[in-house]
């Protein structure tokens, strides 16, 4: 592989990286995907996906319901002081674990001719209208285009001197799977002081429990169990889910330094997609769909560029930046606002009271953080 040339190198094999690899390979584009971890593996993620992505996934040859994904059409929200509201989801969603979804997309990418390398990218240099990419195992590969889809944060962000990486992020996330009774057609969002937890069913009748909290609130306690007992379980609905379920993970998965700061979709000519380009608050439950949508956007533009329909790299980067912002800027700003309001413990119950008075507002708010069904080619 040393010295081998590709049309596109994708750094990171999550949802955005895998779907863009499959999309590009279907157009006879030579793709290398570099992912540091083995497939399959669990990731800290809410594992609820809006059905807006289904037309596109099926076009790529991927049907989540063949893998046991759960249809979800009901939403429940509780506040830290146990006020509750329920609503129907305007478009609906599905529950499927990243363990299963990423693994099956990985197999589909390989079947479509994508070269997949388990390694870590350590350096990306752009010169003479192309890229040279170096990995931890001293592999050097070249490409015309590089997509950055390596997730929330990486050492590459430090190398690129991205603005958001300079700021310390206060957020920590924890995830487990459990076996127990929970409606398979419902996604719940349970708030507690300093954070919130998403709950939904995935394949194999497992319940995904994933919560995010402020690290300053968490570090007061000795460990996860103490924090859950003293803070998380003050939400009675959340306590009941945990008490009525048996955790299937040996240890919880955790990640820290989660940043919701504004990011640029293009850095040093690298086209960023998924969480590398921007992350919506998990409170909105639409990060996975956004990652898949951004993969479609970047792939379509790259195809046009490689086919000569977009004449210059500068024009490609301008079009991608404009398209990305048109599709996601409003969603992200709404997500920031919703998360800010619900962080105010005194305000959240009042907001819920308003939503009870005017229940038609709930689907409208959900629509503002979600997109329309994606068009297949």
Residue carrying the six token digits 């790529």: 60
CB environment 63-101: b (16+ within 10 A), e (fewer): ebeebbbbebeebbbbbbbebebebebebbbbbbbbbbb
d(CA 34, CA 17): 9
Residue carrying the six token digits 């086209």: 271
Residue 222: strand, helix, or coil: coil
Radius of gyration in angstroms for the set of CA atoms belonging to the chain, rounded to a whole number: 21
Average pLDDT across the chain, whole number: 92
In sequence order, the β-bridge partners of residue 177 are 208
What are the tens digits of pLDDT across the range 232-283? 999 999 999 999 999 999 999 999 888 888 899 999 999 999 999 988 877 6
- pTM here? 0.94
Phi, psi of 17 (to 5 degrees): -65, -45
Q: What is the pLDDT confidence band of residue 311, given thresholds at 50, 70 and 90?
A: very high
Judged against a pLDDT cut of 80, whether residue 4 lies above it is answered with no
**What tokens does 223 get?**
């460990």
Residue carrying the six token digits 């500068």: 314
Judged against a pLDDT cut of 60, whether residue 2 lies above it is answered with no
Residue 22: strand, helix, or coil: helix
**What tokens does 153 get?**
């944060």
Stretch (H or E) spanning 186: strand 186-192
**Residues contacting residue 324 through CB under 8 Å, at least 6 positions apart:** 265, 277, 278, 294, 297
The closest of 101, 96, 17, 58 to 294, measured between CA atoms, is 17
The full DSSP string for 308-364 is: TSS--HHHHHHHHHHHHHHHHHHHHHHHHHHHHHHH-TTTHHHHHHHHHHSTTHHHH
d(CA 265, CA 217): 32
Q: Are strands 31-35 and 5-11 parallel, antiparallel or unpaired?
A: parallel
d(CA 52, CA 89): 12
CA angle at residue 264 from 6 to 291, to 5 degrees? 65
What are the tens digits of pLDDT across the range 192-230? 988 899 999 999 999 999 999 988 888 889 889 999 999
Q: Are strands 186-192 and 70-78 parallel, antiparallel or unpaired?
A: parallel
Average pLDDT over residues 319-330: 95
d(CA 287, CA 274): 8
Stretch (H or E) spanning 85: strand 84-95
d(CA 295, CA 297): 5
Q: What is the pLDDT confidence band of residue 334, given thresholds at 50, 70 and 90?
A: confident
307 DSSP 8-state letter? T
265 DSSP 8-state letter? S
Phi, psi of 279 (to 5 degrees): -125, 125
Q: Which of 2-6, 68-72, 346-350 has the highest mean pLDDT?
A: 68-72
What are the tens digits of pLDDT across the range 90-134? 899 999 999 999 999 999 999 999 999 999 999 999 988 899 999
Q: Counting every residue, how long is the chain?
A: 377
CA 215 to centroid of chain Cα atoms: 20
Q: Where are the beta strands (DSSP E) in 39-109?
A: 48-50, 70-78, 84-95
**What tokens does 256 get?**
């820290």
C-beta separation of 319 from 360 below 8 A: no
Average pLDDT over residues 35-57: 96
223 DSSP 8-state letter? S
**What tokens does 78 get?**
């509780």
């Amino acid at each position: 592989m040393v010295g081998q040339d590709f049309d596109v190198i994708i750094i990171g094999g999550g949802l955005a990286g895998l779907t863009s690899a499959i999309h590009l390979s279907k157009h006879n584009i030579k793709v290398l995907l570099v992912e540091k971890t083995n497939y399959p593996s669990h990731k800290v993620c809410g594992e609820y996906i809006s059905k807006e992505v289904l037309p596109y996934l099926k076009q790529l040859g991927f049907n989540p319901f063949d893998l046991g994904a759960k249809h979800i059409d009901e939403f429940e929200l509780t506040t830290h002081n146990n006020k509750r509201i329920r609503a129907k989801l305007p478009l609906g969603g599905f529950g499927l674990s990243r363990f299963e979804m990423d693994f099956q997309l990985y197999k589909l990418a390989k079947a479509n001719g994508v070269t997949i390398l388990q390694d870590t990218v350590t350096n990306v240099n752009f010169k003479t209208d192309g890229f040279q990419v170096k990995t931890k195992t001293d592999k050097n590969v070249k490409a015309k285009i590089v997509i950055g889809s390596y997730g929330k944060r990486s050492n590459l962000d430090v190398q690129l001197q991205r603005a958001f990486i300079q700021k310390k992020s206060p957020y920590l996330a924890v995830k487990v799977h459990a076996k127990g009774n929970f409606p398979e057609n419902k996604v719940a969002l349970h708030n507690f002081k300093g954070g919130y937890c998403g709950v939904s069913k995935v394949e194999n009748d497992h319940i995904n429990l994933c919560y995010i909290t402020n690290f300053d609130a968490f570090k007061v306690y000795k460990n996860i169990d103490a924090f859950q007992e003293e803070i998380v379980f003050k939400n009675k609905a959340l306590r009941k889910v945990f008490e009525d379920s048996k955790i299937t993970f040996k240890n919880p998965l955790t990640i820290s330094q989660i940043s919701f700061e504004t990011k640029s979709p293009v850095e040093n000519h690298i086209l960023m997609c998924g969480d590398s380009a921007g992350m919506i608050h998990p409170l909105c439950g639409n990060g996975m769909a956004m990652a898949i949508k951004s993969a479609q956007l970047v792939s379509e533009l790259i195809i046009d560029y490689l086919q000569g329909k977009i004449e210059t790299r500068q024009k490609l980067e301008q079009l991608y930046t404009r398209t990305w912002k048109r599709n996601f800027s409003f969603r992200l700003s709404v997500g920031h606002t919703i998360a800010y309001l619900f962080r105010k413990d005194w305000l959240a119950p009042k907001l819920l009271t308003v939503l009870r008075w005017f229940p038609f507002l709930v689907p409208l708010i959900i629509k503002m953080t979600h997109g329309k069904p994606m068009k297949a080619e």
